[in-house]
């Protein structure tokens, strides 16, 4: 059941940022991670119903305080609420405003002061709101085997995404870029935009921001609120669906209808007031996904949504309602594609199997903070060592778990002691030459397996502690334990080379980790490019279709294989926002070229990341949905499984590095059409031959050189019937074939000559 609840007219107010609080809840940039503020004691009986950030809001009175001199303003939060009551009455009874309903999960606007009362309501089983999302083509068609589906005007365009809504939730949209017009540049293909950051909220009925529903309104708005400081959405939308604007940078589904949501990520802080910042959560993102799918349903079209953002997985269950809501939103003709993440630039996981005494790694802090989770089936010792303290003048140890040993500060905490402590929380502080280091460890049961205990470890320090190395060890012969990085980094050091047990696995981001979401990793083909200044730019993130080194690796925290599929994500060229170009002339190192249109300077830029591979897969799924509008997520997964190509060999770990392999747009289309089983029909796209259709019934074949052998030509319909079989004499470089006997429809053309063969789809 998908239901929107009206009226609601809660609007954004004056945009002013509170940097301290935004650091807690808003996402950071594409290479960073969400920073926890501190571990939060479970202080009252119903706190288990609340996700971590909501427990923080209840515990931290600062969340309810306003800056000096500010007028009173009741702070509110957008949250997912699961209830046993089929109505919204529990929400109304507790002063909340229901916004949308997805099955038995409501998206609701909740006064923060009402959170304890709402959690105590017996009709409420779970309340959740988290932050943490961050951002993660000239050659794209070739590398995904899509060139035979579209390639400008040279090939028949049997499938281009026409009749399919391609939705994207992202940031930094240039709505005026000509690549988002139709093929002849006369009409805008963007049908809807919800900018959740828009300040144009007078008479808006959206929960946050405003909606733009006509070509005139979208053109007048010109760019998303953050369009002068970001261009990520312009780039990803161009990969998924750009028409190329006269260039060869054509997207995957150049005739699809476009529906956009501009949400909030790091960098958007200046556009959000401190009063309204808690309205931008995973629940608000669910509203965005629902908006995209609901629009497609309203116009009677299938929809695929691309989402190139993500946040870390968790053992605390902070995303369980998020996962449930997404699983209910998708279905036949409703597909969600999300990025795996770019987390493999550093180690992120460490295992200590039973029978091994210990495993260890050095810790890299970010913003003087390191956070990780340890999962174990039996008690063990968590040992933290601070090095380079032998020359310290003063050392103040404010902990029963810390002591000096061999010129090092050692904090040794037994997990059994954490479980026995008040609030299952232990906090230790040491001060070295006036510089404070604090370690907090909190215990709870894993949301995936209640027999597993999880210990969240948060280490914070004053500036200056980074001059002293810090390591972590899991110690205990009997325990089967694992450590999962949340913030900072795992690595090695020559000071103790034995502490080098971490690797890059278990780094998939949410919601790509969701079972019903297609999760996309990145592969590489182009190691370099030349920017608009003629300067070579070298970013060697994979060649020849190998997995890009940054692309996140599975399995998920609960042991499922992810990613599902790979697509090019290294140095991908796509649309660049004209507004970003004008506002940031000193930050254009990735700009490849520019062109003028309608009095503005637009461009094409190269970028790397699973942010780039994700819209490529979404655009390909749009082609498949054009062929079969009722494809479900399971159907799409089946097509990927049957038709993807190898993307690398990592032994038994290959599935968690590469999923089912590199997506093959053409083989997938044949599979969707039921043509992959036609005996004698090649599932390899035809190369070395240009085919055009003239006058609707004349097919012309143009070879690069004169053929040295006879050309065998066969034409099949989608039912597998052979309609035409010809042998064309050798010695020519072009041939003309009459197709007048064929009725209108889609056909597969098989061409063989010498050692070459392949097929392509045409539409008459």
Does 153 lie in the same domain as 109?
no
Q: Is the predicted pLDDT of residue 31 greater than 90, yes or no?
A: no
- The percentage of residues in the chain with a pLDDT greater than 90, rounded to a whole number, is 69
The answer to whether residue 33 scores a pLDDT higher than 50 is no
Strands 134-135 vs 105-111: parallel, antiparallel or unpaired: unpaired
pLDDT-derived band at 586 (thresholds 50, 70, 90) equals: very high
Measured distance CA(290)–CA(325) in Å, rounded:
10
When pLDDT is averaged across residues 352-378 and rounded to a whole number, the result is 95
Cα atoms in the 13 Å half-sphere on the side-chain side of 195? 26
pLDDT for 500: 96
For the chain, what is the domain count? Answer: 4
List the CATH number of the domain containing 292: 3.40.50.200
> Which CATH number covers residue 417?
2.60.120
Give residue 525's pLDDT band: very low, low, confident or very high (50, 70, 90): confident
- Same domain assignment for residues 618 and 739: no
Are 118 and 163 within one domain? no
Q: Nearest-CA neighbor of 419 among 378, 447, 384? A: 378
| 423 in a structural domain | yes
Pairing of the two strands 453-461 and 257-262: unpaired
| 9 falls within a domain | no
- 420 and 473 part of one domain: yes
680 within some domain: no
pLDDT at 764: 87
DSSP 401: S
Per-residue pLDDT tens digits for 242-277: 999 988 899 999 999 999 999 998 777 789 888 888
Instruction: Indicate if 79 and 149 belong to the same structural domain.
Output: no
pLDDT band with cut points at 50, 70 and 90 for residue 543:
confident
Q: CA 329 to CA 303: how far, in whole Å?
A: 11
Mean pLDDT to the nearest integer, 319-346: 95
What CA–CA distance (Å, rounded) separates 727 from 630? 39
Higher pLDDT, 540 or 111: 111
Residues 329 and 447 in one domain: no
Identify whether 731 is part of a domain. yes
In this prediction, residue 467 has a pLDDT band, given cuts at 50, 70 and 90, of confident
pLDDT at 12 over 50: no
Please tell me the predicted confidence (pLDDT) of residue 377.
94
Tell whether 22 is covered by a domain.
Answer: no
Provide the sign of the torsion angle of the four alpha carbons 18, 19, 23, 27, taken in this order: positive
Per residue in 681-736, pLDDT (tens digit) is 998 888 888 888 888 889 999 998 999 999 999 999 999 999 999 999 999 999 99
Do 366 and 418 belong to one domain? Answer: yes
3-state DSSP of 199-228: CCCCCCCCCCCEEECCHHHHHHHCECCCCC
Query: Which among 441, 380, 383 is positioned nearest to 411, based on CA atoms?
Result: 383
d(CA 372, CA 555): 17
Read off the pLDDT band of 133 (50, 70, 90): low
Instruction: Retrieve residue 532's tokens.
Output: 């608009």
CA distance 294 to 328: 13
Mean pLDDT (the chain) is 87
pLDDT of residue 3: 47
* Last residue of one domain, picked from the residues 112, 130, 148: 130
Res. 180: pLDDT tops 90: yes
Q: Same domain for 182 and 268?
A: yes
> Residue 762's closest CA among 159, 22, 2, 211?
159
Are 647 and 629 members of one domain? yes
Q: Kindly state the DSSP code that residue 645 receives in the 8-state scheme.
A: B
CATH assignment of the domain containing 47: 3.30.70
Contact 249, 137 (CB under 8 A): yes
Question: Which residue from 407, 466, 402, 469 is spatially nearest to 439, judged by alpha carbons?
Answer: 402
pLDDT at 143: 61
Chosen domain end from 637, 669, 701:
669
Going by pLDDT thresholds of 50, 70 and 90, the confidence category of residue 17 is very low
Domain with residue 721: its CATH number is 2.60.40.3080
CB atoms within 10 A of CB 347: 22
Asked if residue 591 is part of any domain, the answer here is: no
Q: Is the pLDDT of residue 303 over 90?
A: yes
Same domain, 51 and 171: no
pLDDT over 50 at 457, yes or no:
yes
Q: Is residue 588 part of a domain?
A: no
Average pLDDT over residues 566-576: 93
Residues 75 and 213 in one domain: no
The three-state DSSP-derived secondary structure of 494-506 is CCCCCCECEECCC
**640 shares its domain with 700:** no
Residue with more model confidence, 757 or 73: 757
pLDDT at 65: 44
Residue 297 has pLDDT above 70, yes or no: yes
Cβ contact 172:236 at 8 Å: no
Tell me how far apart the alpha carbons of residues 84 and 621 are, in angstroms, rounded to a whole number.
36
- How confident is the model over 602-633, as pLDDT tens digits? 999 999 999 999 999 999 999 999 999 999 99
Q: Which range marks the domain in which residue 284 is found? A: 135-343+509-575+610-669
Confidence at residue 18, expressed as pLDDT on a 0 to 100 scale? 29
Q: Is 742 a residue whose pLDDT tops 60?
A: yes
* Residues 6+ away with beta carbon under 8 Å from 679: none
Report the range of poorest mean pLDDT among 529-533, 572-576, 614-618: 529-533
Cα-to-chain-centroid distance, residue 582: 28
Q: What confidence score (pLDDT) does residue 176 get?
A: 97
In a domain, 98, yes or no: yes
Among residues 130, 146, 161, the one where a domain terminates is: 130
Whether 483 and 575 have beta carbons less than 8 Å apart is answered as no
Under the banding of pLDDT at 50, 70 and 90, the label for residue 157 is low
Q: Quick: pLDDT tens for 81-102.
A: 999 988 899 999 999 999 999 9
């Amino acid at each position: 059941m998908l239901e929107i609840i009206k009226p609601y007219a809660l609007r954004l107010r004056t945009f002013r940022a509170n940097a301290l609080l935004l650091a807690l809840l808003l996402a950071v940039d594409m290479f960073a991670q969400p920073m926890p503020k501190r571990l939060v004691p479970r202080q009252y009986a119903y706190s288990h119903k609340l996700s971590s950030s909501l427990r923080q809001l209840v515990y931290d009175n600062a969340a309810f305080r306003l800056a000096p001199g500010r007028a009173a303003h009741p702070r509110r939060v957008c949250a997912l609420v699961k209830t046993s009551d089929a109505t919204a009455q529990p929400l109304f009874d507790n002063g909340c405003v229901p916004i949308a309903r997805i099955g038995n999960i409501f998206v609701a606007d909740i006064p923060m002061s009402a959170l304890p009362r709402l959690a105590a309501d017996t009709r409420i089983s779970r309340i959740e709101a988290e932050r943490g999302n961050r951002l993660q083509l000239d050659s794209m068609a070739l590398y995904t085997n899509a060139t035979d589906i579209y390639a400008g005007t040279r090939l028949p365009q049997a499938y281009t995404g026409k009749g399919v809504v391609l939705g994207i939730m992202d940031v930094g949209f240039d709505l005026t870029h000509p690549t988002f017009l139709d093929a002849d540049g006369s009409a805008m293909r963007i049908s809807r935009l919800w900018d959740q950051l828009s300040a144009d909220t007078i008479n808006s009925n959206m929960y946050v921001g405003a909606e733009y529903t006509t070509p005139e309104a979208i053109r007048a708005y010109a760019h998303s609120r953050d369009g002068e400081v970001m261009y990520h959405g312009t780039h990803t939308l161009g990969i998924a669906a750009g028409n190329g604007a006269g260039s060869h940078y054509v997207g995957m589904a150049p005739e699809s209808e476009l529906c956009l949501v501009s949400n909030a990520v790091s960098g958007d802080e200046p556009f959000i007031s401190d009063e309204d910042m808690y309205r931008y959560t995973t629940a608000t993102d669910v509203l965005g996904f629902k908006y995209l799918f609901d629009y497609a349903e309203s116009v009677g079209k299938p929809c695929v949504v691309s989402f190139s953002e993500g946040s870390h997985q968790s053992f605390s269950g902070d995303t369980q309602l998020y996962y449930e809501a997404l699983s209910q939103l998708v279905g036949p003709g409703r597909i969600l594609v999300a990025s795996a993440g770019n987390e493999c630039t550093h180690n992120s996981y460490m295992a200590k199997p039973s029978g091994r005494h210990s495993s260890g790694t050095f810790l890299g802090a970010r913003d003087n903070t390191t956070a990780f989770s340890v999962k174990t089936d039996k008690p063990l010792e968590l040992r933290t060592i601070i090095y380079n303290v032998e020359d310290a003048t003063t050392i103040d140890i404010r902990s029963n778990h810390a002591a000096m040993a061999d010129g090092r500060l050692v904090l040794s905490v037994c997990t059994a002691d954490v479980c026995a402590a008040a609030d299952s929380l232990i906090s230790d502080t040491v001060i070295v030459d006036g510089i404070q280091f604090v370690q907090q460890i909190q215990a709870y049961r894993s949301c995936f397996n209640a027999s597993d205990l999880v210990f969240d470890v948060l280490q914070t320090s004053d500036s200056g502690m980074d001059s002293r190395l810090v390591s972590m060890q899991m110690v205990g012969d009997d325990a089967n334990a694992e450590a999962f990085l949340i913030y900072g980094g795992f690595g090695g050091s020559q000071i103790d080379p034995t502490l080098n047990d971490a690797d890059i696995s278990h780094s998939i981001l949410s919601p790509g980790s969701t079972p019903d979401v297609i999760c996309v990793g990145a592969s590489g083909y182009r190691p370099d490019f030349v920017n608009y200044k003629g300067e070579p730019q070298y970013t060697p993130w994979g060649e020849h279709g190998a997995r890009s080194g940054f692309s996140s690796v599975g399995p998920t925290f609960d042991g499922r294989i992810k990613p599902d599929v790979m697509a090019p994500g290294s140095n991908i060229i796509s649309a660049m926002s004209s507004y970003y170009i004008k506002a940031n002339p000193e930050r254009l190192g990735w700009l490849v070229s520019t062109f003028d249109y309608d009095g503005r300077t637009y461009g094409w830029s190269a970028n790397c990341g699973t942010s780039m591979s994700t819209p490529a897969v979404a655009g390909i799924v749009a082609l498949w949905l054009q062929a079969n509008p009722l494809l479900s997520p399971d159907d799409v997964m089946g097509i990927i499984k049957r038709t993807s190509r190898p993307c690398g060999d990592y032994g038994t770990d290959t599935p968690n590095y590469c999923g089912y392999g590199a997506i093959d747009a053409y083989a997938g289309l044949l599979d969707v059409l039921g043509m992959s089983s036609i005996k004698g029909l090649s599932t390899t796209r035809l190369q070395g031959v240009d085919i055009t259709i003239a006058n609707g019934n004349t097919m012309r074949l143009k070879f690069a050189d004169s053929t040295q052998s006879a050309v065998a030509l066969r034409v099949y319909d989608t039912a597998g019937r052979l309609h035409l079989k010809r042998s064309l004499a050798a010695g020519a470089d072009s041939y003309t074939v009459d197709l007048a006997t064929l009725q209108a429809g889609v056909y597969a053309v098989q061409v063989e000559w010498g050692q070459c063969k392949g097929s392509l789809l045409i539409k008459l």
